[in-house]
Structure 1
């Protein structure tokens, strides 16, 4: 059978299919090399020219993308993609006037493309100002009434300080703390308690000089529990939106450190400008409920946040006069262990906020955080390490006492345990296998805490004589262990904010030993290794 001629329709179609497979599969570099051969062979093929321009754009070669897209159009291409590539390449090079002109053409040819519509509105504002962009937005939104287009326009209004013209689904909200908003509304908090202090002390490290260590008691927030009426809360968000348009969050409103919060983890927050937030509330279907207690919010699925940030609040939430009658609101993706822990503290019914949804509450009971506890901080922050989260003694003592009421300690405490992090995705012990093997040979059980129920983890600690563990949030359950348990924590050299854990455990009557690797790192979640002889020496010294 003779090969197909290079200019036959079937051959050209096969070329196109091959290129499309490469590009769709992410093989952009291979596609570019293939196009270097094909373009000279088919110089008038507008489809190939457009594809080459698109590949250049995806690879970040904006000047070449613009040049080849213009060539495709000059060859007579009527492919809207060539226009969109040209407009995007202009945009990426900061040529706002040209980008606005070409993207208007692209939008009119591709009226259903949200990306083209948003880029057009943004580039028009950059090139010609907000008033010209307003008329373009009206035209675009009339043709494509998509929520993302409205939020695009809201961002431009917010950045220009035009807070009173937000489109439906966007809110420009001032941020306040609950106490400040309550006082402004002429109301009072339902329960007010004393500040909760967080002890912080630099841990001693085995094998290293016992130099003078930093030690301080960090005052937290004044504890309160209070009712908010008509409040809306959002899945995985710490924002409480009130009917008057004010966003409540004590951590963001913190006078000293709130400005240093990086809020990228909160999908409700689109932009921040000083003490004002642009909120995208239109993305959330809203369900009305009569009443509930808020224990939902930022990264509540992580045990290291769930316990100190949320469960510790129960100690004063239950002082609210309505607490016992109300369901507790949590996020829908909570691990089973989190809910088991909560059920041992209080018997309240649980209500979950479905992912991507919101609840509007006739009455919402909220409580103060114990202390400033950020998820992310801006790179230029000056928040001292002792103020970057904390483990409040009163809160943990409440958790300890309440759980042990339901689970009294056994009489036998002989287990030797190693709590592995091998299945985790960050902060891993590089020589985990060698350490596990060495400890197993010395009679240690190798356990994976995430595979155990909360009650199994409590019983594990209650029956332990010795525990060795890489640093991780499962160590928060060591408060249920006997006071004379030997606890060895493996860590990076920096120790980072483990001073608050050490301070808490010392306050509760425990002693513990830190064992550090030799590698220096400024990343608290970096992997590390512990020299095996150092670990064995520490165990022998502690057993003696």
Structure 2
């Protein structure tokens, strides 16, 4: 076998830069190119520390909806998909790059399939020697999706994937709702992907009373809050990292948008294809907001709320101290959401009347606010990927403005890439922020 020491060294250099899953994409691709798919299997499992993946199979890929339509034990369609709307420009103070864009929605449905194998931190649903993929049309091709991001996928062809799994029987459970996947560790994806899936299931009449499968890497605040958002008597079951389960009857809801495994975006137009249809997403936010309010609703005394982010995170406000000072003078209470249980986070935003937040999961959290709430999202000038946020705010009757500031990483190679420049750190002009907030009402009745 040809030597692979250089590939192993590159993998170790890439993991701290890009994370384990993303670094694994290039490693798998290079390994397959050098050794061939079958010979790459063993070294990939060893280097990436993949348990119970001694079997390698070339499996056909089938759309989840197609499988449900042809073979599902249950299928309830809420909307058929294919409806298009134009998203107008955002309300922005500062520089921007957004322009009106047309978005087409996907089908919304709840399905139940027999004999499905799932794994923790994996998106793959293995069913009847097939891979089920929640994809419609050419969504994946248009964003140049990289399926090797999933731990179980060694190599992907057009309509077949080389899947690493085990021939040994997996532990069996009778019935469950699936809320797992490779993005399940990310709080923002819970707000835009997994909780909307739960809302879709509830709208479609999912009865509860069976385990809800959640990845062990899911944020603890979300795992702890889930029982209060579920029908009575519905347990939450965590699936360990890459742990296997065979589910005799697996319920799964469609995703409101196609988030992809790891899109390889190469142009601004590619980013448009990741936009969610806000007329579908906003009602799903409403379902979760109503369930959360039923579980916890109490006065906080905080009408003007700043959902701050800890320094050092990606897409940071580099002069966060100046921003904190302006907001303090304007009467805003600074809160770090992660220091509070999830239900309390939702209660904070639903009790507030004015909310400021940096773009990211904190800004998404504010979309669970009550109608009429004023929102100001702080971000960089790359506002194009935020068009769906503007649309969702309108659907939720929220008064949303974006206030932008210049990137501090412009000029670097990453700043030229349409995806990565969106994650650049940026600076907010304190005087501009102060002038903008001065126009917001004040006083006890504001």
**Aligned counterparts of 1:175 and 1:267: Cα–Cα separation in 2:** 16
Query: Displacement of 1:409 after TM fit?
Result: 6.2
- 1:180 partnered with 2:62: no
Q: Please give the per-residue CA displacement for 1:316-355, whole angstroms capped at 9, x wherever unaligned.
A: 3236676323111110122122124432321321111111
Q: What runs of 5+ residues in structure 2 fail to find an aligned partner?
A: 8-29, 47-52
CA contact (8 A) 2:214 2:238 kept: yes
Query: Displacement of 1:436 after TM fit?
Result: 1.3
Specify which of 163, 168, 193 is matched with residue 309 of structure 1: 193
Change over 3 Å in CA distance of 1:121–1:360 after alignment to 2? closer
Specify which of 467, 470, 486 is matched with residue 374 of structure 2: 486
Specify which of 271, 295, 300 is matched with residue 406 of structure 1: 295
**Aligned counterparts of 1:459 and 1:120: Cα–Cα separation in 2:** 49
Specify which of 279, 304, 307 is matched with residue 419 of structure 1: 307
Q: Please give the per-residue CA displacement for 1:399-419, whole angstroms capped at 9, x wherever unaligned.
A: 222222333464x86532222
Query: Displacement of 1:174 after TM fit?
Result: 1.1
The two structures have a TM-score, normalised by structure 2, of: 0.78
State the secondary structure of the residue aligned to 1:489: strand
Aligned-residue Cα RMSD (Å) equals 3.6
Specify which of 42, 51, 72 is matched with residue 148 of structure 1: 42
Q: Please give the per-residue CA displacement for 1:295-318, whole angstroms capped at 9, x wherever unaligned.
A: 111211212211221211223323
CA contact (8 A) 1:177 1:250 kept: yes
Quote the residue 2:248 is aligned against: 362
Query: Displacement of 1:535 after TM fit?
Result: 0.7
Specify which of 73, 89, 92 is matched with residue 205 of structure 1: 92
- 1:334 partnered with 2:334: no
Aligned residues: 395
**Aligned counterparts of 2:5 and 2:310: Cα–Cα separation in 1:** 48
Specify which of 332, 343, 346 is matched with residue 227 of structure 2: 343
Specify which of 282, 286, 292 is matched with residue 176 of structure 2: 292
1:387-406 equivalence runs, <5 A = 387-390=273-276, 391=278, 392-406=281-295
Query: Displacement of 1:459 after TM fit?
Result: 2.5
Quote the residue 2:258 is aligned against: 372
**Aligned counterparts of 1:90 and 1:236: Cα–Cα separation in 2:** 27
Query: Displacement of 1:527 after TM fit?
Result: 0.7
**Aligned counterparts of 2:186 and 2:78: Cα–Cα separation in 1:** 27
**Aligned counterparts of 1:151 and 1:480: Cα–Cα separation in 2:** 42
Flag the structure with more relative contact order, 1 or 2, with Cα contacts below 8 A and sequence separation at least 6. 2
Whichever structure has more helix as a proportion of its residues is 1
Query: Displacement of 1:493 after TM fit?
Result: 0.4
Quote the residue 1:526 is aligned against: 424
Query: Displacement of 1:183 after TM fit?
Result: 4.4
CA contact (8 A) 1:294 1:328 kept: yes
**Aligned counterparts of 1:498 and 1:276: Cα–Cα separation in 2:** 34
**Aligned counterparts of 2:340 and 2:254: Cα–Cα separation in 1:** 31
CA contact (8 A) 1:240 1:247 kept: yes
Quote the residue 2:17 is aligned against: none
Larger mean CA deviation between 478-487 and 290-299 belongs to: 478-487
CA contact (8 A) 2:304 2:331 kept: yes
CA contact (8 A) 1:490 1:514 kept: yes
Q: What runs of 5+ residues in structure 1 fail to find an aligned partner?
A: 1-83, 93-118, 138-145, 153-166
Query: Displacement of 1:364 after TM fit?
Result: 0.9
State the secondary structure of the residue aligned to 1:429: coil
- 1:220 partnered with 2:81: no
- 1:266 partnered with 2:150: yes
State the secondary structure of the residue aligned to 2:149: coil
**Aligned counterparts of 1:319 and 1:482: Cα–Cα separation in 2:** 20
State the secondary structure of the residue aligned to 1:397: helix
Specify which of 133, 138, 146 is matched with residue 256 of structure 1: 138
The two structures have a TM-score, normalised by structure 1, of: 0.65
